[in-house]
Amino acid sequence: MGFFKWVCLILLLYLLDATLILSDSNDQLPVIPFGFLEFAKKPEVLNWMTDIRRKIHENPELGYEEFKTSELIREKLDKLGISYKYPVAVTGVIGFIGTGHPPFVAIRADMDALAMQEKVEWEHKSKVPGKMHACGHDAHVAMLLGAAKILKEHEKEIKGTVVLVFQPAEEGGAGAKKVLDAGALENVSAIFGLHIDPSLPIGEVGSRSGPFLAGSGFFEAVISGKGGHAAIPQHTIDPILAASNVIVSLQHLVSREADPLDSQVVTVAKFQGGGAFNVIPDSVTIGGTFRAFSKESFMQLRQRIEQVITGQAAVQRCNATISFLDKQKPFFPPTVNDGDLHKHFQKVAGDLLGISKVTGMPPSMGSEDFAFYQESLPGYFFMLGMKDASVEKTVSVHSPYFKFNEDALPYGAALHASLAASYLLKLQQNVPVVEGNHHDEL
């Protein structure tokens, strides 16, 4: 080869390298994730995730009781050659893929089921009476394991460490808080999480920057009076009447005390009292939930709920004792998405699915214990579509008729893997490499 051709070749290689650098500086999607969705859609990978999902669905376990689910997760991680910590937060599993050194990025799936009887008739119906995966957490676990399978295939290309968080007790048990309290995510730079959404078409995702889901709490009150015969109410102190006035007054907290631009909810969903048509009971128990998008509004609601219940009960000559169930059902803070991670999500999801498949969503009064992570480190939570166009009526989550669309599994797995791998590539130049064992570092 002549001298002129050598010079041309060197210049060509230089321009190619410069183009790649420029492409990365312009925040283009790194090379790694491009094939992730195709990999996840392979029949053998999809079938593998589907089998995991169905096994978990058949054997639902409530919060902090996910022992069989955790055992299945560890079995799959062992076969993939992925190291992990167990137990974390009672039944949780924390896996590691990559160099074992910083930077660290986490992807999370919740594992617990709901205390309800499944009414969907299919081959893989829940085998445990009164328990059901009606919120898709079985699918969340399968997708995170799918992401682990993808990332393990590309482990040599990962610039840092992906932390797999299999978390217990999202449904009111604040499992995320226990994971944090265990110190499992101390050096993690960011965390991503998803939830399936039956209202979004399959292959689409939705989220937003800033407040996304509300903070939530629960309350229960026992209103005590004096029981007696319903025919002579003058000789009684009627707790049913007092509780009725309490419920009506609680609705005024939102309609007349809250700023209309500051979304809040107070719902009484429990009313227990009396067992006969002609007997006024001694006491009535009511309970419900309250929600807001800021801690200030939440604490104001909490204070006023207590004042209204005690005050209205006293007007009717009754006594009231109130519990906010802090130990059984801890307060969930608002889910607030990090702005920089939102840009990262839009870019990665847009390149993976097509920008038209990435939807901006309004805030929702639902809540998520993923918010605990976001109080400690930058976090991003998004919704993954699973709506089947051939089904006329979509059933929402927390319904005994809920059925997950398994065609959504590859999308969740690929998005988890892509968000984590590409985020590490962005961080690699900013975080020094530290020698040592990643178990110690986390």
**Phi/psi class of residue 227: alpha, beta or left (left: φ > 0; alpha: ψ in -120 to 50)?**
beta
135 is in an annotated binding site: yes
Q: How far apart are CA 162 and CA 94, in angstroms?
A: 10
CB atoms closer than 10 angstroms to residue 21: 10
Query: 220, 229, 221: which is closest to 318 by C-alpha?
Result: 221
Instruction: Note whether 305 and 219 are within 8 A (CB).
Output: yes
Distance in angstroms (rounded) separating the CA atoms of residues 291 and 332: 9
Beta strand 92-98 with 83-88: parallel, antiparallel or unpaired? antiparallel
* 422, containing H or E segment: helix 409-427
User: Is position 344 annotated in a ligand binding site?
Assistant: no
CA distance 136 to 174: 17
> What are the helix (H) ranges across 112-172?
137-153
For residue 434, the tally of other CB atoms under 10 A from its CB is 11
| N-to-C CA span, the chain | 53
Q: Cα–Cα distance between 210 and 418 in angstroms, integer? A: 22
Is 171 labeled as ligand-binding? yes
Residue 377 has phi, psi (to 5 degrees) of -155, 160
Burial of 171 per CB tally in 10 Å (0-12, 13-18, 19+): buried
Is it true that the peptide bond before 211 is cis, omega within 30 degrees of 0?
no
* Phi and psi at residue 332, to the nearest 5°: -95, 125
Q: Annotate 5-34 with three-state secondary structure.
A: HHHHHHHHHHHHHHHHHHHHHCCCCCCHHH
Rounded CA separation 404/346 (Å): 25
Beta carbons within 10 angstroms of residue 427's beta carbon: 17
Length of the chain, in residues: 442
* Cα–Cα distance for residue pair 56/168, rounded to 1 Å: 13
Residue numbering of the annotated binding site: 135, 137, 171, 195, 398
Residue numbering of the annotated binding site for Mn(2+): 135, 137, 171, 195, 398
